[in-house]
Amino acid sequence: MGSPEAYFLTWTTYGTHLHGDNTGSVDHARPGRGPVRLPPSPSQRARESRAMRGGPFTLDARSREVVGQAIREHAEFKRWTLLAISVRSNHVHLLIRAGEPPERVMTACKAWATRALRSEGTVSPEGRVWTRHGSTRWINDRESLDAAYKYITRAQEGLIAANRYGSRRNRD
């Protein structure tokens, strides 16, 4: 298989979506089985909550703008093609073309967004902002690309969304 059309990346803010939540979660740490969808589990959620270092982190309107801008600037610097972005109070969706593995793209975007939030004074130097990983889906065909784009820009009612050509518009 050749290069993907794009990557559909999603990650959550720290402590806002724990394993065992009522909405379910995905376990990426099961060797040889790939990601496994986990059912809700109050006891597992309680364990996860006790293991947290600090409280949950959410993004207010200003923080969402800062995160979106940091990701757009970094994508431009890296010459990645940002197709769509939606920054929500507890997660980020990103549809992007990049000549690097999706994990590296996600890690870089999270790092740049965190730096921007810290420079704004939104997050303390030791404060946690994001979960450890996230979802990295390869988009391999035009139909999947269109579906991901629509999901990010319409279903998510994206605060910040890029059109197919990379320009942006604000949405409320």
Tokens of 1: 């298989």
The predicted structure's pLDDT at residue 172: 32
> Could you say which DSSP state residue 162 is in?
E
Instruction: Parse the chain into domains and list their residue ranges.
Output: 6-16+56-170, 20-54
Q: Does the structural domain 6-16+56-170 have CATH classification 3.30.70.1290?
A: yes
pLDDT < 50 stretches in the chain: 158-172
Q: Hey, what's the torsion of the CAs at 144, 145, 148, 151, to 10 degrees?
A: -100
Q: Burial, 147: exposed, middle or buried (Cβ in 10 Å; 0-12, 13-18, 19+)?
A: middle
The predicted structure's pLDDT at residue 110: 97
Structure-token match 């972005």, residue found: 85
> Could you say which DSSP state residue 130 is in?
B
The predicted structure's pLDDT at residue 59: 95
Among 15, 162, 153, 28, smallest CA distance to 90 is for 15
Tokens of 157: 């009612």
Please name every residue paired with 25 in a beta bridge, in sequence order, or none if there are none. 38
The predicted structure's pLDDT at residue 52: 58
